[in-house]
Amino acid sequence: MKNKKIKETKFQSTVWPFQIDTLQNWAFYNPVFTKEECEKIISIGNKKGLYKGSTIQTTKNVRDSSISWLLPSDNLDWVFRRITDIVLELNSKFFNFDLYGFIEGFQFTHYKEPDGKYKKHIDRGLNIQIRKLSLSIQLSDPNSYKGGDLILHYEDIPTILPKEQGKLLMFPSYTMHEVTPVTKGERYSLVAWITGPQFK
């Protein structure tokens, strides 16, 4: 008995995508601030008084840094205005999220040797403000310290972000990231979260 030939048919998908995903993993703007402006922000942040940064995670030793909170009333209207324009531009080009604004102010963060760090974490969490975008601005001269790399973890190979003074880096707040230990010197940064309506 002869075997019947089975007619090969090419599988045709019934999926009809509404649109292609164009969401970027991260974006940058350089420079946002000059060296002198970075030094001015560092001075204002230090004068506010630093205290130990906390975390919503229950795991111990996740974070070793000091912080203060900066507001427009700290003679920083010019900082908020400049960053707002840049955030809106980057969001329009790379993320296209619905946003509200900076509800939490800016976090001025200080990491110092021998082990200033922030282990792997995400910036969003249950029962807190709906954070959609996270940004970090390098305030220190990168030659003044060692370590302190901002690393994103969305693939098997971590992405080490550049650390030029005055450069703004932005990424979705659900992205796993870390700041590696500062082994020499000290690192200052300005961190903020842009909130918005619930993801749908």
Query: Does residue 1 lie within any of the structural domains?
Result: no
* 41-82 confidence digits (pLDDT tens): 999 999 999 999 876 655 668 899 999 999 999 999 999 999
Query: Does residue 200 lie within any of the structural domains?
Result: no
d(CA 119, CA 38): 25
The residue segments making up the domain with residue 105 are 27-130+149-195
Query: Does residue 142 lie within any of the structural domains?
Result: no
Query: Does residue 138 lie within any of the structural domains?
Result: no
Residue 52 is classified by DSSP as E
Q: Identify the pLDDT of residue 60.
A: 67
Count of Cβ atoms closer than 10 Å to residue 99 Cβ: 16
Query: Does residue 21 lie within any of the structural domains?
Result: no
Count of Cβ atoms closer than 10 Å to residue 162 Cβ: 12
Domain count, the chain: 1
3-class secondary structure for 83-125?
HHHHHHHHHHHHHCCCCCECCCCEEEEEEECCCEEEEEECCCC
Query: Does residue 9 lie within any of the structural domains?
Result: no
The CATH number of whichever domain residue 123 belongs to comes to: 2.60.120.620
User: Which helix (DSSP H) or strand (DSSP E) does residue 197 occupy?
Assistant: none
Query: Does residue 165 lie within any of the structural domains?
Result: yes
> What pTM value is reported for the model?
0.87
